[in-house]
Amino acid sequence: MTAIDPESFNAGADEAKEARRARLFTRINKADAWFKVLGLAWMTPILKAAAGDNPRAQVKEIWQLLGVPLAAIAAFLILWGALAPKVQTSLGAIPGPAQVWEQVENLHADYLRDKAKEAEFYERQDARNAKLIAAGKEDKVKERAYTGSPTYYSQIFTSIKTVFFGFLLATVVAVPMGIAAGLSKTANAALNPIIQIFKPVSPLAWLPIVTMIVSATVANNDGLFSKSFLISAITVTLCSLWPTLINTALGVASIDKDLVNVSKVLKMNTWTKITKLVLPSALPLIFTGLRLSLGVGWMVLIAAEMLAQNPGLGKFVWDEFQNGSSQSLAKIMVAVFTIGIIGFLLDRVMFTLQSLFTFSNNR
């Protein structure tokens, strides 16, 4: 008989199934590390439950990780919606969630309207140029960029661009200085008073000085480095320098003594010592500093844009305040949420980078 024994077949299948399940769970557990980095920790219990793990235990975890935050947000929205209309200002009542959402749609509609206008502009330009070519005046053909007002999205983009440029500049300055301060007592003694004095200075105090210097030294005003862009970026740099500098110095100074001794035994030169030894062991603290710096930079940028009238989200808030229309408050609240959400995302990005680059015990 060549019939297959059904019992042994079933056992084989069960084994295979069990193995698959085990593999699935290892994968989920592996993914969990990534979910945590990305702030999606609640995905793990959901996936586990879907894969057939004990649902009761998972439900509790899902409630902790997803249910509670969502309930808190819902409570916040209800409270906001109930209390806001009670506060009367000269621009009408404080807008509730519904009115703010309406402005989100409004801003998006404005964006679409602007896009349409831009397309029309290029159509007109093409028609004009075609006519010129037909008339044999190729030399008069002009291609010019559209000159409309910036949309909400382009203002967000400008702000992000500015903060990253300023932050990059700050990193380039702060990390080497921090390493120097961490490695050498003399450098530390020299830098310390300067850091202590400039660290608490508000961006609003730097701004006029930066404005005057940039206006005086930057000649051309077009291209990527327009004056207003540089002014806000440099203000961001000046204020976001310090957390990176201090944390780098601290990280470098607190290297394991044994490691330093090893480097002495191996007669490493300074460069190798920095790249092979100092940087890897100081990296977690350097990243902590960078994360703080980017957060500070984002806060500073909004203030700088507001005061210096540089394009971006800060100017959007100020313009709306000046407009004083019945929609202004709701639009400003849209900006507040945008600023908050972007700040949160920036922090996540830094956290992810930190997890990728450091070899801490957590991972």
Partner 1 sequence: MRKALLLALSTTALSTGAFAEMLDVEKDELKFGFIKLTDMAPLAVAYENGYFEDEGLFVTLEAQANWKVLLDGVIGGQLDGAHMLAGQPLAATIGYGTEAHIVTPFSMDLNGNGITVSNEIWEQMKEYVPEENGKPVHPISAEALAPVVKKYQNEGKPFNMGMVFPVSTHNYELRYWLAAGGLQPGYYSPQDVTGQIGADVLLSVTPPPQMPATMEAGTIYGYCVGEPWNQQAVFKGIGVPVITDYELWKNNPEKVFGMSASFVEENPNTAIAVTKALIRAAIWLDENDNANRMEAVELLSRPEYVGADSEVIANSMTGTFEYEKGDKREVPDFNVFFRYNATYPFYSDAVWYLTQMRRWGQIAEAKPDSWYDEIAKSVYKPEIYLEAARHLVDEGLANEADFPWDSDGYKEPTPAADVIDGIPYDGRQPNAYLESLPIGLKGDQTVVGNEVKG
Nearest approach in angstroms of CB 148 to partner 1 is: 8
Gap between the Cα atoms of 193 and 62, Å rounded: 50
Q: Which of 132, 160, 259, 279 binds partner 1 (CB under 8 A)?
A: 132
Q: At what angle do helices 43-51 and 6-38 cross, to 10 degrees?
A: 170
Nearer to partner 1, 60 or 137 (CB): 137
* Phi, psi (rounded to 5 degrees) for 138: -55, -30
User: Quick check: 323 binds partner 1 (CB under 8 A)?
Assistant: yes
Contact 311, 158 (CB under 8 A): yes
Based on CB atoms, which residue is closest to partner 1, 12 or 324? Answer: 324
- Residue type (1 letter), 141: V
E strands present in the chain? 88-89, 92-93
- The verdict on 233 binding partner 1 (CB under 8 A) reads no
Q: Taking the complex as a whole, how short is the minimal distance between the CB of residue 281 and partner 1, in angstroms?
A: 48
Cα 236 to Cα 125, 199, 304, 305, 351: the distances in Å are 39, 13, 8, 10, 20
* Distance in Å, CB of 303 to partner 1, minimum: 14
Nearest alpha carbon to residue 95 among 324, 321, 320, 330: 330
Q: Which residue in 52, 69, 85, 324 binds partner 1 (CB under 8 A)?
A: 324
**Residue number, 41 or 91, with CB nearest to partner 1:** 91
Residue 108 in contact with partner 1, rule: CB under 8 A: no
Please tell me whether residue 53 adopts helix, strand or coil conformation.
coil
Q: Binding to partner 1 by residue 320, rule CB under 8 A?
A: yes
Distance CA 235, CA 312 (A): 14
What is the x/- site pattern for partner 1, positions 13-32, by CB under 8 A? --------------------
90 binds partner 1 (CB under 8 A): yes
d(CA 355, CA 243): 19
Asked if 131 interacts with partner 1 (CB under 8 A), we say yes
Binding site for partner 1 (CB under 8 A): 90-91, 110, 121, 124, 131-132, 134-135, 137, 140, 142, 144-145, 147, 149, 215, 221, 227, 309, 318-320, 322-328, 331
